[in-house]
Structure 1
Amino acid sequence: MTLQNTAAGIRLMILTTLIFSVQDAVSRHLAAEFNVVMVIMIRYWFFAAFVIAVAARSAGGVRAAAATRQPGLQIFRGVLLAAQICIMVLGFVLLGLVEAHAVFACYPLLIAALAGPVLGEKLGWRRWAAIGVGFVGILVILRPGFTVFAPEALVPLAGAFCFALYGLLTRYVARQDSAETSFFWTGVAGMVVLTPPGLWLWEPMDAAGWGWMAFLCVSASLGHFCLIKAYEIAEASAIQPFAYFQLVFASLLGVVLFGETLEPMTVLGTTIVVSAGLFTLFRTRQRAERGA
């Protein structure tokens, strides 16, 4: 049995967000030079190999990890995450890290809003109010009806929707499958679905590109390893709020490496969205503790 250590879990979650932020910056760089689907396909080749290696070392091996009572849902989850990553990397290229992550920050609110129809969970008026406030924050970021509104901002919004649905389906399949099984299908299904279009859209990559690609693959596996360890030693509800550090790190990288700017309205809207998201996480944790 793994001992619970919330402080260590928080540190690991923050480290995970830093790794994923660096990974997003590298993805943006590569996707600006090469085809997005090809870049994500190569990343998934490495990710799938990592997943299979982890499964092989676990009790029962690969066969036990692959055993699922709901293969259709597991495959759909994997495909959904692969699509979400492609969408978000495209969003990084179109909008930059700052704007894309500002919009993507609404995904916890989408999870809360969709928890009813997907999982049958009931939301109180406080969480519905927080969701409404959060989407006001999204409108502040997008500023529809103004000349500064960029239709490209709908790309990371679609990515947030895909990730929210992926998260809910992950909770749904966990009712019958283990975390190891879900992790296995996440990597393998994504690799399988991305390989045909990725090979079709293949572009020659120079030595520098392959160097960045290798860094991306290694950092992706390291990030997932840290995330797994974080959830092993601490409760998800305790460390999940610290996932917002990715927004901070990604914004800093966008400003420093790519010359992006922090617009006042973007900062205001993001603050509203994150505050609403933290409130929904807090209310969800309270509800879980009362139901325990």
Structure 2
Amino acid sequence: MADMSLPKIAADHNRISFGLTLMVISVLLSPLIDIFAKLAIATVPSAEITAVRFLLQVVFILPIVLFRGSLFDLTWKKTGLHALRGGLLVVTMLSFITTLKVMEVADAIAIFFVEPIILTILGSIFLKETIGWRRYTACGVGFFGALLVIQPSMQEVGWIALLPVVAAFGLAVFLLVTRMVAQNEDPWSMQFHAGVWGALFCLVLLYFGEGTGSGIFDPVWPEGYTWYYLLGVGVTATISGVLGVYAYRAAPASVLAPLQYLEIVSATIFGWLVFGDLPDALKWLGIAIIIGSGLYIIWRERRVHKDTSVAPVSPAI
């Protein structure tokens, strides 16, 4: 009996290893989305970059949902929730990409990683999830770490340094809504419809923003290398998202979730290589505290609820 279980154990081990490999590649590639976005936002408004990102997501995923036959597998209630998810992603991406115009990629991502902390708190409020004093303490410590990154950033760029927190809040609410529809919904269909609604909302914003002179909503015709930057945003976002989907299918979320913090490492490396940016000592301390508190929350959830899933950050956006 024990011998018969060995192949299954080996298969499970190989599947988890495969999921871990895919997740590492996904989170290491994910900051390239922000690198391309930062390059593009020098001449293109953030709403336009966001629209292109969603449109390319729809184009890449459409053949998959057609093949799976899940394109129209929606009720009106689900359609409303997907529209809400798309709107929340627009808020998240607009906030984050707008930040990149004046802020270092690594700093913005470090602040954005208060999202698991916000999600933990919102889950306790709206989903009645039991959160003990240890995790609440870790949330408080994590927010303190975020302040260490935000405070010098606010002195450098002003209130815009708070936009990654807005983006984190938007993504946290998005993940809460996703939990409401994910039980019986095809993940590819969810990605597709979120992209459709996200693109639609962005196009409406660009329509009304035309001629306003806004650096966020007034569309412009891209020139030169900007086309490649926009394409880079869409392609890297899609690749990272697809890798994340298959990673979470192959391995438990509780195993993969800590790997999301590798994104800060790769963001720092890419930011240094492309823009010559490196966080100072105070920001490094804040980043370390954010990572430590986030990892503790994940570890604590694994211990208290072994079947608790922690939604990925990178594939969501």
Paired with 1:259 and 1:32, the residues of 2 have a C-alpha distance of: 16
What is the root-mean-square deviation of aligned Cα atoms in Å? Answer: 2.3
AA of the residue aligned to 1:253 = F
Paired with 1:273 and 1:109, the residues of 2 have a C-alpha distance of: 9
Question: In the alignment, is the contact (CA less than 8 A) between 1:69 and 1:177 conserved in 2?
Answer: no
Q: 1:196 aligns with which of 204, 226, 229?
A: 204
1:34 counterpart = 2:51: no
Q: What's the counterpart of residue 270 of structure 1? A: 287
Question: In the alignment, is the contact (CA less than 8 A) between 1:13 and 1:239 conserved in 2?
Answer: yes
Q: What's the counterpart of residue 94 of structure 1? A: 102
Alpha carbons of structure 1 residues 46 and 122: separation in structure 2 relative to 1, 3 Å? same
Q: Shift of the alpha carbon at 1:147?
A: 5.3
Question: In the alignment, is the contact (CA less than 8 A) between 1:115 and 1:121 conserved in 2?
Answer: yes
Give the secondary-structure state (helix, strand or coil) at the position aligned to 1:90: helix
Paired with 2:297 and 2:76, the residues of 1 have a C-alpha distance of: 31
Q: 1:232 aligns with which of 240, 249, 260?
A: 249
Question: In the alignment, is the contact (CA less than 8 A) between 1:69 and 1:176 conserved in 2?
Answer: no
Give the secondary-structure state (helix, strand or coil) at the position aligned to 1:48: helix
Unaligned 5+ runs, structure 1: none
Q: What's the counterpart of residue 315 of structure 2? A: none
AA of the residue aligned to 1:212 = Y
Q: What's the counterpart of residue 71 of structure 1? A: 79
Q: Which structure 2 residues correspond to residues 63-212 of structure 1 after superposition, within 5 A?
A: 63-64=72-73, 66-67=74-75, 69-143=77-151, 150-199=158-207, 200=210, 201-212=218-229
Identity %: 25
Alpha carbons of structure 1 residues 290 and 50: separation in structure 2 relative to 1, 3 Å? closer
Q: What's the counterpart of residue 48 of structure 1? A: 58
Q: What's the counterpart of residue 280 of structure 1? A: 297
Question: In the alignment, is the contact (CA less than 8 A) between 1:68 and 1:177 conserved in 2?
Answer: no
Paired with 2:236 and 2:147, the residues of 1 have a C-alpha distance of: 33
Paired with 1:147 and 1:227, the residues of 2 have a C-alpha distance of: 36
Q: 1:6 aligns with which of 16, 26, 32?
A: 16
Question: In the alignment, is the contact (CA less than 8 A) between 1:134 and 1:272 conserved in 2?
Answer: yes
Paired with 2:50 and 2:190, the residues of 1 have a C-alpha distance of: 20
Paired with 2:188 and 2:149, the residues of 1 have a C-alpha distance of: 37
Question: In the alignment, is the contact (CA less than 8 A) between 1:67 and 1:181 conserved in 2?
Answer: no
Alpha carbons of structure 1 residues 181 and 205: separation in structure 2 relative to 1, 3 Å? closer
Alpha carbons of structure 1 residues 140 and 207: separation in structure 2 relative to 1, 3 Å? closer
Count of paired positions: 288
AA of the residue aligned to 1:134 = G
Paired with 1:190 and 1:286, the residues of 2 have a C-alpha distance of: 36
AA of the residue aligned to 2:19 = G
The answer to which structure has the higher helix fraction is 1
- Tell me the alpha carbon deviations over residues 219-257 of structure 1, each in whole angstroms, 9 at most, x when there is no partner: 222111111111111111110110111111111111221
1:213 counterpart = 2:224: no
Q: Shift of the alpha carbon at 1:67?
A: 4.5
